[in-house]
Amino acid sequence: MNLHHIGIEVKDIEQSRKFYEHVLGFQEETYFKLNDETILFLKRQNFLLELIQSSNNESIMVQRYHLCFETESFQFIKDNNLTIYEEPIKLGNGWETVFIKNSDGELVEFLKCTQE
């Protein structure tokens, strides 16, 4: 498994975009809406940063960030009796994602990037 990206919840995705693009040299990788969230992936060299803006302030994660690991299969989740926090979702770009919470309540995302 490899670290795929770090996600951060932001209040204003366009303000955050300006900072990461103009100050730190990131470029847009992909941009889409999912339910009540706007999601922007920015890339700098081999590093991906996910910015997430929710239209529903109540849905903002207390943690405000998460780690994401790229995987080829979600089978290890079942094999290790991990508790799924958010069921697998197929994204508009063909990726499939699932969130778990570890025993300390830390939110971790696992992502299959294979496209059909």
Residue from 10, 64, 20, 22 nearest 42 by CA:
20
Does this model's pTM top 0.75? My answer is no
Q: Is the pLDDT at 61 greater than 60, yes or no?
A: no
Q: Domain ranges for the chain, please list them.
A: 2-112
The per-residue pLDDT of the chain, averaged, comes to 85
Q: Is the pLDDT at 107 greater than 70, yes or no?
A: yes
Q: What percent of the chain has pLDDT over 70?
A: 88
List Cβ neighbours of 110 (8 Å cut-off, separation of 6 or more): 68, 69, 70, 71, 74, 77, 97, 98, 99, 100
Q: Is the pLDDT at 76 greater than 80, yes or no?
A: yes
Q: Is the pLDDT at 33 greater than 80, yes or no?
A: yes
Q: Is the pLDDT at 50 greater than 90, yes or no?
A: yes
Q: Is the pLDDT at 18 greater than 80, yes or no?
A: yes
Least confident range from 22-31, 55-64, 97-106: namely 55-64
Class of domain 2-112: alpha beta
Q: Is the pLDDT at 28 greater than 80, yes or no?
A: yes
